[in-house]
Amino acid sequence: MTTMKLNPLAIQVIDAGPKRRHWSRVAQFSRSPELLLGLDRVGVESPMIDDLVAFACSDFGVPEPKLKLHAGRSAYTGACERPRTVWVALLGEDEVAVREAAGWGALPTNGAIRLGRTTTLMTLAHELGHHAVFHLDDPTTPAHGRRWVLRFDQAAAMVAEAAGMDG
């Protein structure tokens, strides 16, 4: 694992977020649910988000996604868009081309992650887990299955280390 430490002034303690709809699965299969809950109390903003994404993607050995940061999005919610290659594997090149022309627009080559301008480390790790699954695992891997929980745990450990929360 590469080493990175955030500037302590770049992180902020924020209120615990709402219960996540996938939390029961995460709590059942995660190796460190307490760490994940701790990450939910730590908020970061750009450019720290950008640095953490680069750090985690380097450690995972996957390309960095396009980041889409929105002021109106909650710190506790995010979204991860599949890379174009995953869509092609699922639907075929012709179908992807039809959908892009019909309104999807050009799909991000390396995928994309949508976050609030301030986001929790848990939300960031959640979306990085999806991003890692899209690049490292079978395209039909369930979005919130055991494999994703493993990738979520791995991403959480990376961001916790970078935030100086690893012990």
pLDDT digits (tens, 9 = 90+) for 87-128: 999 999 999 999 999 999 999 999 999 999 999 999 999 999
Give residue 9's pLDDT band: very low, low, confident or very high (50, 70, 90): very low
Task: Please check whether residue 145 is in contact with residue 28, taking contact to mean a CB–CB distance below 8 angstroms.
Answer: no
Quote the domain boundaries for residue 29.
8-162
Task: Please check whether residue 48 is in contact with residue 6, taking contact to mean a CB–CB distance below 8 angstroms.
Answer: yes
Q: Is residue 100, in this structure, part of any structural domain at all?
A: yes
Whole-angstrom Cα distance, residue 10 to residue 163? 9
Residue 6 has which token pair? 């955030």
| Res 10: pLDDT | 57
Q: Is residue 167, in this structure, part of any structural domain at all?
A: no
| Res 138: pLDDT | 96
Percent pLDDT > 90 in the chain is: 73
- Compute and round to an integer the Cα radius of gyration of the chain: 16
Has residue 147 got a pLDDT over 80?
yes
Has residue 78 got a pLDDT over 60?
yes
Q: Is residue 1, in this structure, part of any structural domain at all?
A: no
Q: Is residue 3, in this structure, part of any structural domain at all?
A: no
Has residue 135 got a pLDDT over 80?
yes
Q: Is residue 103, in this structure, part of any structural domain at all?
A: yes
Identify the residue whose tokens are 């302590």: 8
Among residues 111, 41, 115, 105, the alpha carbon closest in space to that of 71 is found at: 115
Provide the number of structural domains found in the chain: 1
| Res 85: pLDDT | 95
Q: Is residue 39, in this structure, part of any structural domain at all?
A: yes
Amino acid identity of 59? Answer: D
Give this prediction's pTM.
0.89
In the DSSP assignment, the letter for residue 101 is I
Q: Tell me the average pLDDT across 54-74.
A: 95
Give residue 165's pLDDT band: very low, low, confident or very high (50, 70, 90): confident
